[in-house]
Amino acid sequence: MASYSKGLEGVVAAETKMSFIDGEKGVLEYVGIPIGELATHSTFEETVFLLWNGRLPKRGELGDFSSKIRSLYDPPAEIEQMIARLPKEAQPMHAIRTLISALGMFDAKPNLTDLPSVREKATRLLACTPTILAYFHRHRQGKPLVRPDANLPLAENFLYMLNGTRPTPTMAKALDVCLVLHTDHGLNNSTFSARVVISTLSDIYSAITAATGSLRGPLHGGANEGVMVMLNEIPSVAAAEAYVLDKLARKDKIMGFGHRVYKSYDPRATHLKVLAKQLADDTGNSALYEKSAAIEKTMANAVAAKGIYPNVDFYSATTYHCIGLPLDLFTPMFVVGRIGGWSAHILEQLADNRLYRPDVDYKGPHAVAYTPIEQRS
């Protein structure tokens, strides 16, 4: 029996050529390119191409890939009809998980696992998931649906469908950067879930559905919603320090801090911190950013020596709020970005597949006699 590691911490369960993480130094690279370079110079579509192909695209290749994505913005008509019947009080993460799963029913050949077929299905999922999310949000508001605009890139088109008006260039760029930063992150819980499911030679819809369910949890993608709840609980910048110290004294978790991998500053948080400040200044949310900064300062004095720093969720909450996203769409936006990374891992898994089947260390009794029901007390 191999040694047991709770939560599989430190266990290497896959090989990848996509994202590299050095948690001690705060390094994240996609196919060798530092995440800050991509967040500054790239786009979400280009980043997905990089992960799916192991290299940056040439100009014509990027144009073709972007055009392909835009041609697939519209989901099947049956999905739109299904959205119209969903309860308006449904939580968006439950809605998007269910609708991603439902997409498999409107694929004539959903179970194909050859790489060209899976890539085609992944492109469709990448393209139409933002539309599905925007449609559900409009439905629950009782507003008419806004059809996708194939002239717009994915992030800008999503905000247009969500609000019915074109976003400012700053907001569109900010969301695009968030999607880049969220695209991939090693063998995190949801990515592992996707690889485990596809390793059975199941279908991509099942794998992405499983990953979405994993991401919903507050210890994974749902943490960014928790950060915003915390910020709303703090009445002012001046109250932030006492709030944090009180929670630390009670050994409560401060949402948006600490990471299983990073023992230094999360490089995604580094970029989001700058972005959040710019957006807060532009949108009249400076007080919200200052609360975030006050929380970070207090945490730095209290626990930074223990390797607890802001993670990607901490400043993404402020960023999403300044873009104008409702709180319960924060985690679904994580899904939109992460579908690119999940699909890349699914393709990588299928290229050299072996079924995931770990062992378990049994700790229960042995040779227990069966007691007839009439003799049980």
Of 165, 152, 178, the C-alpha closest to 321 is 178
Q: Which amino acid is it at 104? A: G
φ, ψ of residue 86 in degrees (nearest 5) = -75, 145
What's residue 260's pLDDT?
A: 83
- How far apart, in whole angstroms, are the C-alpha atoms of residue 320 and residue 308? 23
Confidence bin at 376 (pLDDT 50/70/90): very high
Query: Average of pLDDT values for 179-207?
Result: 97
Which of 22, 94, 220, 328 is flagged as catalytic?
220
Residue 101 in contact with residue 93, Cβ under 8 Å? no
**Beta strands at 19-22 and 33-34: parallel, antiparallel or unpaired:** unpaired
What's residue 363's pLDDT?
A: 93
Cα-Cα-Cα-Cα dihedral sign, residues 100, 266, 324, 278? negative
- How far apart, in whole angstroms, are the C-alpha atoms of residue 79 and residue 124? 13
| Structure token pair of residue 300 | 């730095």
Which of 176, 313, 321, 345 is flagged as catalytic?
313
φ, ψ of residue 50 in degrees (nearest 5) = -55, -45
- How far apart, in whole angstroms, are the C-alpha atoms of residue 189 and residue 220? 7
Residues of the chain with CATH 1.10.230.10: 223-323
Listing from the earlier edge strand, what are the strands of the sheet with 33-34? 19-22, 27-30, 33-34
- How far apart, in whole angstroms, are the C-alpha atoms of residue 220 and residue 215? 6
Query: Average of pLDDT values for 142-159?
Result: 98
**pTM for the whole thing?**
0.93
| Structure token pair of residue 98 | 């269910």
Of 14, 3, 56, the C-alpha closest to 33 is 56
Active site residue 259: yes
φ, ψ of residue 22 in degrees (nearest 5) = -115, 100
- How far apart, in whole angstroms, are the C-alpha atoms of residue 141 and residue 143? 5
Query: Average of pLDDT values for 59-77?
Result: 98
Active site residue 220: yes
What's residue 224's pLDDT?
A: 82
What's residue 1's pLDDT?
A: 55
| Structure token pair of residue 314 | 């901490």
Q: Which helix (H) or strand (E) holds 207?
A: helix 204-215
Q: What is the mean pLDDT of the chain?
A: 95
The CATH superfamily holding the domain 19-218+328-351 is: Citrate Synthase, domain 1 (1.10.580.10)
- How far apart, in whole angstroms, are the C-alpha atoms of residue 373 and residue 353? 46
Residue 224 in contact with residue 272, Cβ under 8 Å? no
- How far apart, in whole angstroms, are the C-alpha atoms of residue 222 and residue 247? 20
| Structure token pair of residue 184 | 């991939």
Quick one: angle between helices 115-141 and 204-215, nearest 10? 50
What's the Rg (C-alpha) of the chain? Answer: 22
Of 361, 274, 375, 252, the C-alpha closest to 322 is 274
Residues of the chain with CATH 1.10.580.10: 19-218+328-351
The CATH superfamily holding the domain 223-323 is: Cytochrome P450-Terp, domain 2 (1.10.230.10)
Would you put residue 107 in left (φ > 0), alpha (ψ -120 to 50) or beta? Answer: beta
pLDDT digits (tens, 9 = 90+) for 199-228: 999 999 999 999 999 999 988 887 888 899
Helix, strand, coil % over all residues of the chain, rounded to 5: 60, 5, 35
pLDDT digits (tens, 9 = 90+) for 269-310: 888 999 999 999 999 999 999 999 999 999 999 998 898 999
Residues 6+ apart with CB under 8 A from 163: 324
- How far apart, in whole angstroms, are the C-alpha atoms of residue 199 and residue 207? 9
Which of 259, 271, 321, 345 is flagged as catalytic?
259
What's residue 326's pLDDT?
A: 94
Active site residue 149: no
What's residue 64's pLDDT?
A: 98
